[in-house]
Each structure stands twice: as structure tokens, then as C-alpha cells.
Chains A and B, each alone.
Chain A
């Protein structure tokens, strides 16, 4: 059992600084897009949300090591996300209508 864990510890390490660089670039891109792109509002919001979700996914996958966890833990963690999106989307749809 202990050997298994040490095998898990010895897994291939993500390059944490590279992830940091991605996060930094995406943050600069977000601020740039928000104030200098001149995109129509709907597209701007969608693009910003896409960039935010991308950054959040990078943090969860590499810094929280979700990419390297057993699939059942990953499923447990991802389970409420569709519900959160569904609730938020429903609210938005109701308000737009």
C-alpha cells in the first residue's frame, strides 16, 4: 500500500512555473479584452467567462492535482458543476425573457 503511494508521489510533475505563466498571460489577455477590444457586449462577456473558466481549470487540474487524482474523486468533484451551470443559466434565461 505504501509503495503504491510512493509510486503516486513519483508521478510526472507538472511544470508549475509554466502553469503560472499561462495564468499570467490569460489574466493580461482578460484585462486587455475587457477594456480595449471594443467587442459587442454579449461576445465580450462570453469571451471573458471562457478565459476565466480556462484559468480556473488550469488551477484545478495542475495546482490542485485533479488531473492526477483517481477518476472517482474527479467525478465527485465535477458532479456539482453541471448543476451550478444549469441553475445560473436558468436564472439568466428567466431574466432575459
Chain B
């Protein structure tokens, strides 16, 4: 495994000129673009068709808290890219340090999101129509939880993958010629950050 990864990371494929692992991750991320585009498209259709079901974002959602969460996710992208930059130069200590920082920031994002959900549900902002008690209508709650929930699931999976990557890093599985695993982990992580940038604007600010 380690040997084949070494070969693929240091030998770009003919044709696409990148190694297989990276090409595979990009193709997967493109399918993710379609997934989130369809969610955003559905959100736009519903919001245009039923504007009365939406409230001013600030009236229901805690925008400052989520703004802070956005800031943490952006910070976690920096730590992730620093981890990659470290192992590109064979810096094992740097790789471990920055991966741990990314795990902490990513977990904090998920934690704050769960806290936000609990608070919102406590105010009657829920996905279910029958028990909906907040400003706006049930479509607001259901689209909100669908979009932020799918994103949160991606972050959670990302944190688990980061833990897996960190374990491999602590076992010394990555090096200056075998960093593919860290790079594609980074691609996934930055993509999740990128999706949040779009979702934060559409769901919390508009």
C-alpha cells in the first residue's frame, strides 16, 4: 500500500498529468458539486415559491455564532494546508501538529453546530411541520436542516478521515515523496469549507 502510494504520488499519470489518487478525489468532489447544487437549487425554488415561509435570518438564526463558526472552519483550512505544506518538505512534526489543530477546529465546528441545533429546536425551529413554532413556515426549517445537516455530516466524516490520517501520520506513513493521502484529505477538507462559504451566504445572510 505504502509502496504503491509512493509510486502514484511521485509519478503523475500520463494524460491528466496528476497522480491517480488526486484525480479520483477531484472526480468525487465534482459529484459533490452536483449534490450540493441540487440542494441549493431546490432551496431557491422553494424560497421563491413560498416567500411567506421564510423569516429574516437574524430573527430566527444566531448569525454571530455561525459567523464565528465560519471563522473556525476557515482557520481549519489554513491548518490543513499547513499540514500538507509540512509533509511536502518531509516535516513530520509539522504534519502531526497541524493535523491535530485541524481535527480540533473541525470538531469544534461540529460541536457548535450541534449546540446551535439544540438551541434552535428549543425555540420551536424544527424540520417537522406539525411541531413548527418559530417565525416563518415549516419549509424554512426543513430546508435549513437539510442543507446545514448534509454539510455537517460532511464535516463529521471529514473529522473522522482526519483522525485516520493523523493516526497514519503518527505511524510515520507519510513522507516528502509519499504525501498523496494528506493532499487528498486536504482537497476534501477545503471543499467542505468551500461549500460552507456558499451555504453560509445563502442560508444565513440572504
Chain A residues at the B interface, C-beta cutoff of 8 Å: 1-2, 4-5, 9, 13, 16-17, 19-20, 23-24, 27, 30-31, 34-35, 44-45, 48-49, 51-52, 55-56, 59-60, 62-64, 69-70, 72-73, 76-77, 80-81, 84, 87-88, 91-92, 95-96
Contact check, A20 vs B75: say whether CB atoms are below 8 A apart.
Answer: yes
A13 contacts across to B, CB distance below 8 A: 85
Q: Interface size class for chain B?
A: 35 or more
How many residue pairs bridge A and B at CB < 8 Å? 120
Secondary structure dominating the interface of B? helix
Identify B88's interface contact among A9, A55, A91, CB under 8 A.
A9
| CB within 8 Å for A49 and B12 given contacts A31-B67, A60-B194, A95-B44 | no
A4 contacts across to B, CB distance below 8 A: 12
Which of B34-42, B112-120, B153-161, B162-170 binds A? B34-42
Contact check, A30 vs B11: say whether CB atoms are below 8 A apart.
Answer: no
Contact check, B81 vs A96: say whether CB atoms are below 8 A apart.
Answer: no
Which of B16-24, B122-130, B139-147 binds A? B16-24
Task: Tell whether B104 is near chain A: CB-to-CB under 8 Å.
Answer: no
| CB within 8 Å for A51 and B78 given contacts A31-B63, A64-B190, A70-B17 | no
How many angstroms from the CA of A96 to the CA of B47 in the assembled complex? 11
